[in-house]
Structures are given as C-alpha cells and as structure tokens.
C-alpha cells in the first residue's frame, strides 16, 4: 500500500507539473497518471486503495466544497438572482434531452436506455469547477456580475439534481415504471441539505464565538461534521432525501456569516490540504478508466459526447436570456459547464452492475466523457477567463 501511495503522490505531482509547463491543466496529468497506474494498464495501485477509492474521492470533494462554502459570498450570488437557480437544472435537462434524441440513432439504444445514459453524463464536475472558480474569485475575475459564484453554486446543485434523476431513470429501465416520488426527492433533498448545513454552521459559529479553538482544530471539526452528513445520507437517504454535499457547502456559508474573519483563515487551511486531496481525487478517477471500453466504443460515442455538450451549452445560454450579462460572460459560463469527472466516475458503472442491457455502453460513454471533457473544460477555463471576464 505504501508503495502505491508514493507512486500516486510522486507521479501525480510530476505529471501535473509537466502539464503546467506545457500550459495544460495539471489535472490532465493526474488523470492520465491514474490511467497508467490503474488496474487496466500497469496495475501498480494496491487493491486495498482501489477498494476505498470512492471514499477517498468523496473526502477530496468534501474538502473543496467546504472551502467553497467558507469562501463564497452569498450577497454576490443574490445579485445574480434567477440565472443562479436556472443553472442548477436547465443545462442538465437540455443535455439529457439531447442524449434521448441522438443516442438511439448513434448507439442503437432505446429511449429509456438513452435517458439513463443522459443522466450519467449530464452532471458537471464540482471537483474541476470549484477550485477553478475559487481561483477566479481570489484573482477578482468576473466580480462585477459574480460570474464565478454563479457557476460554483449552480454546479453544486446540478449534481444533486442529476443523481436523483439517475435513480428515477434506472428504476424505469429496471422495472418499467417510474415513480412521481422520485422527482419529489429533488427539492426535498436540496432544502434539507441547506437547512441542516445552515443550522450546523450557525451553531458552530456561535460556539466558537464563546470558546477559543485553534483554526486547525476548527478544520478538523468541520471535516468531521461533513463525514457525519455523508453517513446520514448513506444511512437514511432512501427514506429521507438529503443532500450531504449541499449540507457541507452550506455549513461553511452559514459559519462565514457568523464569523467571517475566522472563515477566511479556515478556508486558507483547506486550500493547503487541497494540494494533497487534488492529487488523490484525479489520479483515482483516472484509475477507474477502462481503456478497452474507451477504444471499443469507437467514433460514435465521441461524436455523441460532443453533440450533447452543444445541447448543454445551449441550456446555459437559455439561463441568461433577459439578463445584463455580456456576450463574453455568457460564453465563459457555457465553457465552465463543460467538465465532467466525479459523478461519472461514481455512478457510471452502476447500470452495468444492475444488469441493464445498456450497462456497458453507459460505462463507456461515462469514461469517454471524463477523458474528453475534464481536461478540455479545465484547459478552456484557464485559457479564456482573462479574455472573457473583466477583472475587478
């Protein structure tokens, strides 16, 4: 195990450094490090690490979402208004619709199978987007119209919407029917996540006003609360819909309202931890990629991915109709919603494990969407933000 950990860290760091030198996103090098070290190529990652890969990746996601909550200024987000809400579900709906229209012709899927494929691919990647948007917030890009805050908040809720839709459509594919209760879970899980996170963050803020606690200890407390949220979702999520990731982010937001200076210091601590967490996240995402599936799928799946991306970008554009955002800002938001990675790696293999006829196809498209869109989206965000966004 220790050899595998050393290889993940050293090779991930080296590959990320080489990509930065080549003016490419560091995560691209980390992804391909995972592909090479994973069980489908060199098989150098210990099975004990791969067995808990999902938990490690979720921990990394918790760290970046907590940092986002502690850094995000909700007053800026309120200025944006309606588009912030629409970005949570409209682009994903457009992409699912595009998949239902195109996939049956390109891949020979039924409409139900195309819908399952669509909800797997439709989720944007907070693991790619959140650190990018936090960086833009720190540099002051897009400050006038709160563009990074808008994209960051929309991406966080987008995943919840897509995962609930995934449960509904896999139930339809498996049982032949779909329950209206499945769709009611979407607003309930979002509202409960906001309420739980808000209450916990406020209570922590009030407690830490009265009791002096070191910032490092505060960070440990925040991470522990996040783990409790995730455990609650895993244990009771089927009975009581609850989004742990939204709760994590809202804990940071609520605490920031009570103790803004302390929140800024803790956010800095999380930034340092993210350096380590980022390597594990993207290397282990890369390790899930099955090259044989990707090669076997051929050109049709690649065309499909780019085609549904056009639908997604059209959905983003529709969110900004009748708003004051400039054409450049709208284009940047459309680009920012390209990356996919975390959700696809987490749920891409579930239809196959459920025995669905489309399972192998879904996994193939999910894998290719990671390989294509994660580096492409990150690269375009890095290369275009100085041109498309004003600096405050």
Q: How much is the pLDDT for 176?
A: 60
Question: Does the pLDDT value for residue 183 go beyond 70?
Answer: no
**Which has more pLDDT, 250 or 127?**
250
Count of CB atoms situated within 10 Å of the CB of 55: 11
7-11, 56-60, 183-187, 272-276: lowest mean pLDDT where?
A: 183-187
Under 8 Å between Cβ of 68 and 152: yes
Q: 171-194: string of b/e by CB count within 10 Å (b at 16+)?
A: ebbeeeebeeebeebbeebbebbb
Measured in degrees and rounded to the nearest 5, phi and psi for residue 44 equal -105, 0
DSSP codes, 277-334 = HHHHHHHHHHHT--HHHHHHHHHHHHHHHHHHHHHHHHHHHHHTTTSS--HHHHHHHH
Query: Residue 200 above 90 pLDDT?
Result: yes
Q: Percent of the chain at pLDDT above 70?
A: 93
Half-sphere exposure of 337 (CA within 13 A, CB side): 37
- pLDDT at position 328 is 94
Stretch among 200-214, 227-241, 247-261 having the lowest mean pLDDT:
227-241
First and final CA of the chain: distance in angstroms? 47
Is-contact 197 226, C-beta < 8 A?
A: no
Average pLDDT (132-139) is 88
The pLDDT of residue 331 is: 95
pLDDT tens figures, 38-93: 888 899 999 899 888 878 878 887 887 888 888 776 666 666 678 888 998 899 99
Query: Please, what is the angle between helix 147-175 and helix 327-336, to 10°?
Result: 40
- What confidence score (pLDDT) does residue 63 get? 87
Q: Is the pLDDT of residue 117 over 90?
A: yes
pLDDT at residue 78, as a whole number:
67
Most confident range (mean pLDDT) of 197-206, 274-283, 316-325, 383-392 is 197-206
CA angle 141, 144, 149 (to 5 degrees): 65
pLDDT of residue 319: 93
Q: Among residues 332, 305, 307, 311, which one has the least CA distance to residue 320?
A: 332
Q: Residue 359 has what pLDDT?
A: 83
d(CA 297, CA 66): 37
Beta bridge partners of 141: 391
pLDDT, tens digit (0-9, with 9 covering 90-100), for 322-371:
888 899 999 999 999 999 877 787 777 778 777 888 887 888 888 788 88
Contact 324, 82 (CB under 8 A): no
Q: What pLDDT does 265 receive?
A: 93
pLDDT average, residue stretch 213-228: 93
Integer-rounded Cα Rg, in Å, for the chain is 20
Question: What is the chain's mean pLDDT, rounded?
Answer: 86
Backbone phi, psi, residue 337, to 5°: -95, 15
**Measured distance CA(265)–CA(320) in Å, rounded:** 34
pLDDT value, residue 55: 85
pLDDT in the model for residue 178: 55
Please check the confidence at residue 244 and state whether its pLDDT lies above 90. Answer: no
Torsion angles phi and psi, residue 130, rounded to 5: -60, -50
Cα–Cα distances (Å) from 334 to 87, 309, 311, in that order, read 10, 10, 10
Mean pLDDT of the 186-193 span: 81
């Amino acid at each position: 195990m220790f050899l595998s950990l050393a290889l993940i860290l050293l090779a991930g760091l080296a590959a990320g450094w080489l990509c930065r030198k080549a003016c490419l996103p560091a995560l691209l090098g980390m992804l391909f490090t995972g592909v090479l070290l994973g069980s489908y190529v060199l098989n150098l990652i210990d099975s004990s690490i791969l067995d808990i890969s999902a938990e490690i990746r979720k921990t990394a996601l918790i760290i970046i979402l907590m940092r986002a909550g502690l850094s995000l200024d909700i007053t800026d987000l309120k200025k944006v208004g309606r588009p912030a809400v629409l970005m949570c579900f409209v682009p994903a709906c457009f992409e699912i619709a595009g998949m239902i229209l195109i996939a049956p012709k390109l891949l020979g899927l039924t409409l139900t199978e195309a819908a399952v494929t669509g909800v797997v691919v439709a989720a944007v990647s907070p693991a790619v987007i959140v650190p990018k948007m936090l960086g833009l917030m720190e540099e002051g890009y897009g400050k006038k119209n709160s563009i990074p805050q808008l994209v960051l908040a929309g991406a966080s809720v987008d995943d919840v919407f897509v995962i609930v839709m995934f449960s509904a459509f896999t139930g339809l594919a498996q049982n032949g029917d779909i329950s209206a209760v499945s769709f009611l879970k979407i607003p309930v899980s979002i509202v409960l996540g906001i309420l739980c996170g808000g209450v916990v963050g406020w209570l922590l803020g009030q407690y830490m006003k009265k009791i002096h606690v070191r910032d490092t200890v505060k960070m440990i407390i925040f991470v522990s609360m996040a783990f409790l949220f995730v455990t609650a979702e895993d244990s009771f999520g089927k009975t009581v819909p609850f989004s742990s990731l939204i709760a994590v982010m809202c804990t940071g937001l609520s605490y920031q309202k009570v103790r803004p200076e302390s929140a800024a210091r803790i956010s800095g601590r999380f930034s340092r931890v993210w350096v380590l967490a980022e390597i594990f996240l993207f290397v282990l995402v890369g390790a899930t990629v099955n090259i044989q599936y990707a090669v076997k799928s051929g050109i049709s799946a690649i065309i499909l991915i780019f085609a549904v991306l056009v639908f997604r970008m059209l959905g983003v554009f529709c969110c900004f109709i009748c708003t004051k955002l400039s054409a450049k800002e709208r284009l940047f938001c459309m680009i920012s919603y390209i990356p996919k990675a975390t959700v696809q790696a987490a749920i891409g293999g579930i239809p196959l494990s459920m025995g669905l006829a489309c399972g192998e196809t879904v996994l193939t498209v999910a894998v290719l969407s990671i390989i294509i869109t994660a580096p492409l989206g990150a690269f375009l965000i890095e290369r275009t933000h100085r041109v498309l966004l004003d600096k405050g």
